[in-house]
């Protein structure tokens, strides 16, 4: 059974939408991953993320796509890359990640409520 969360727990997560402006296959990750540069708008700017999404996505296909990410987690070092944002996804067939994203284009930096 999942842990019971409060609304305050949810409010502590800063989940924003951003547009991928660059993406490259990670040369230093232990598991196959793609390095993302995501523009979260004027308030937050461009942040980096490392995501294990290579089953369903190729790096060049991600450029211009909007994604959701948690922008207030501390950075994690993935090999020689600093991942500043946790890019959100859901398990698809075989537990492979499918990115969470809006159905329609929305302004970068918008917060999920």
Amino acid 10: pLDDT: 93
pLDDT tens column, 19-66:
999 999 998 778 899 999 999 999 999 999 999 999 999 999 999 999
Alpha helix positions (H), the chain: 7-12, 41-44, 59-62
pLDDT in tens, 63-87: 999 999 999 999 999 888 999 999 9
CATH architecture of 18-99: Beta Barrel (2.40)
Domain ranges, ordered by start, for the chain: 18-99
The whole-angstrom separation of Cα 59 and Cα 96 is 16
- Which single residue is written with the structure tokens 């211009």? 64
Q: pTM of this prediction?
A: 0.93
Q: Is the pLDDT of residue 94 over 90?
A: no
| For residue 102, pLDDT beyond 80 | yes
How many residues comprise the chain?
113
């Amino acid at each position: 059974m999942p842990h019971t969360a409060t609304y305050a727990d949810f409010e502590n997560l800063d989940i924003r939408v951003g547009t991928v402006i660059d993406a490259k296959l990670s040369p230093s990750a232990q598991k196959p991953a793609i390095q993302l540069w995501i523009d979260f708008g004027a308030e937050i700017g461009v942040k980096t993320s490392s995501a294990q999404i290579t089953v369903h996505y190729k790096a060049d296909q991600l450029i211009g796509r909007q994604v959701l990410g948690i922008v207030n987690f501390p950075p994690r070092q993935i090999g020689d890359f600093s991942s500043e944002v946790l890019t959100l996804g859901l398990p698809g067939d075989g537990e492979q990640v499918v990115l969470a994203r809006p159905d329609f284009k929305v302004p970068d930096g918008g917060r999920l409520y």
